[in-house]
Chains A and B, each alone.
Chain A
């Protein structure tokens, strides 16, 4: 499994712990492991969108499971990042319908515009472009996911605008 050795500052704030306890309340008391996926989402959101081994170990401790059980799960699902990622990660859908409506050309355009290769973070750590599989927005293609939201029916002009908005801090991710 890809593991980052970059040190991550762990900050389990009171608000985060409160949210975790709320999530835990959704499952029977002896089934804490069930809360793993939702908890990981919230923990990742609160830690610059990535999960270090230390952070995963912390989650294991809270859910009273073995660390390996967390690693196995984190590595299975695509939405958990195991290394620091660009602040604004453009996740373009690259499956059939999106390709029919020009996703591939738009991905190239975005990479050129940002001066990055697919799957790489820009030098300033601001942007990253990633191609992902079907996001369930086939009728609104081409599209991308940015944080918790979808940006749909994209054109080059809309991409330009989106990049501007990101730079100007007008985009919220959660």
Chain B
């Protein structure tokens, strides 16, 4: 068994409740932080831990904290991003549902480090029952004296509330989340200014993912150096992976970073291999926006090294032959799945979720979806493949927020690695009319029809 620091107590009966959580040593980091540490010491520990933000972008958390403006004297806020919406990702929900107090403990300790006195957890509206669990847990924490005025007699005040969204993927982008928290449409803001200078109600604000904040208690209790011993040099610590698709045991797993993809996929401790033992065709390792990997690049990198579950190994080879760890949304595809259909599916998602503010994303995501839908339903033209490539290229990098990139990358990667499947759809429309076309006849069997002819 590998090291677990977030889910180590998940199986303790009643860990959802305050009493059990506290009895198991919960809230120790709050006591330690408030009574024996200064805010800056905590920031230093988090920096030393090497922890990268677990929401997807992987920005070093300690550095993000150190950017917060403490000089202006404006009130500061910590906002927890629990708007988990990246397709393939469902880890934060698991953590919040089963260990709500771990997140609250992290929020208190982290708020103290940032010298914030009013903090929020922004949770997506569809997780309504988890919202209610958190609301109750916060009430318990208030009742037990962990929140409110003069916590533990140290003079530190903190109010913490949970705020509920209402259905918008874009609110996972931190400035859109802040807009939404202000009661507005979830339109990402133009940066700069960054939230660390001007965030919620124009006050200095840090936005961190649930998993990142839930890691803070361990770092405070055990030191950043101790945390950095877990995982690899560049990818310290553990990571929650949400596994779904064609595997035997889908679900949420805490892994030590650096575990091999092969072991994660096949060992009984984790995914237990492919569903119905069908062949592995493709993998999206970090949520829908990261590039899809074809079978031959999953277990080994292009150099022939073992592919590991770490930031550096998953991105080895760049976009040409690698991908990204992203949010840890691990989606596995077997030979019955259609890459064109799946790419259309993702494109539809981004089209639906674009806020509509900037032109490349507003117009481009819809265009991508329409062209992909035509190809998938047998109305594609040969030139559509190059057209798709060109549209995604024109969206990428030209938008206000990363949603444009997120919409472009999956299309680019699918064409890069699975161009022959697109050609097959265009040239044999009658064969793909049925949406389950590869169930009866996997692409492997018909691949020769679009193979390059050599004379």
Give A contacts to B, CB under 8 Å: 26-28, 31, 33-38, 40-41, 63, 65, 69, 72-73, 76-80, 94-97, 99-101, 104-105, 133-141, 145, 147-150
Is B331's CB under 8 angstroms from A77's CB? no
Q: How large is the interface on B (under 10, 10 to 19, 20 to 34, 35 or more residues)?
A: 35 or more
Smallest distance from the beta carbon of A80 to chain B beta carbons, Å?
A: 6
Q: What would 5 A/B residue contacts be, using CB atoms closer than 8 Å?
A: A73-B185, A97-B87, A97-B331, A133-B87, A136-B124
Q: Which residue of B lies closest to A75 (CB)?
A: B185
Q: A26-B163, A72-B185 are in contact. Are A136 and B85 (CB under 8 A)?
A: yes
Kindly state the separation between the CA atoms of A84 and B347 in the bound complex, as whole angstroms: 30
Kindly state the separation between the CA atoms of A33 and B200 in the bound complex, as whole angstroms: 13
Kindly state the separation between the CA atoms of A165 and B341 in the bound complex, as whole angstroms: 34
Kindly state the separation between the CA atoms of A150 and B124 in the bound complex, as whole angstroms: 14
- Within 8 Å CB of A38, what residues of B? 163-164
Is A37's CB under 8 angstroms from B166's CB? yes
Q: Which residue of B lies closest to A25 (CB)?
A: B161
Kindly state the separation between the CA atoms of A148 and B118 in the bound complex, as whole angstroms: 27
- Within 8 Å CB of B168, what residues of A? 76-78
- Within 8 Å CB of A140, what residues of B? 90, 250
Is A139's CB under 8 angstroms from B349's CB? no
User: Shortest 6 CB-CB distances between A and B: which pairs?
Assistant: A78-B167, A36-B183, A77-B166, A138-B244, A33-B183, A139-B250
Is A77's CB under 8 angstroms from B125's CB? yes
Is A41's CB under 8 angstroms from B243's CB? no
Give B contacts to A, CB under 8 Å: 84-90, 93, 118, 124-129, 132, 161, 163-169, 180-186, 201, 242-246, 250-252, 284, 288, 329, 331, 333, 337, 341-342, 345-346, 348-349, 352-353, 355, 435-436
Is B250's CB under 8 angstroms from A133's CB? no
Kindly state the separation between the CA atoms of A135 and B348 in the bound complex, as whole angstroms: 15
- Within 8 Å CB of B252, what residues of A? 139
Kindly state the separation between the CA atoms of A28 and B120 in the bound complex, as whole angstroms: 12
Is A73's CB under 8 angstroms from B331's CB? no
Is B166's CB under 8 angstroms from A138's CB? no
Of A26, A95, A96, the residue contacting B161 (CB under 8 A) is A26
Is A80's CB under 8 angstroms from B166's CB? yes
Of A26, A27, A133, A137, the residue contacting B349 (CB under 8 A) is A133
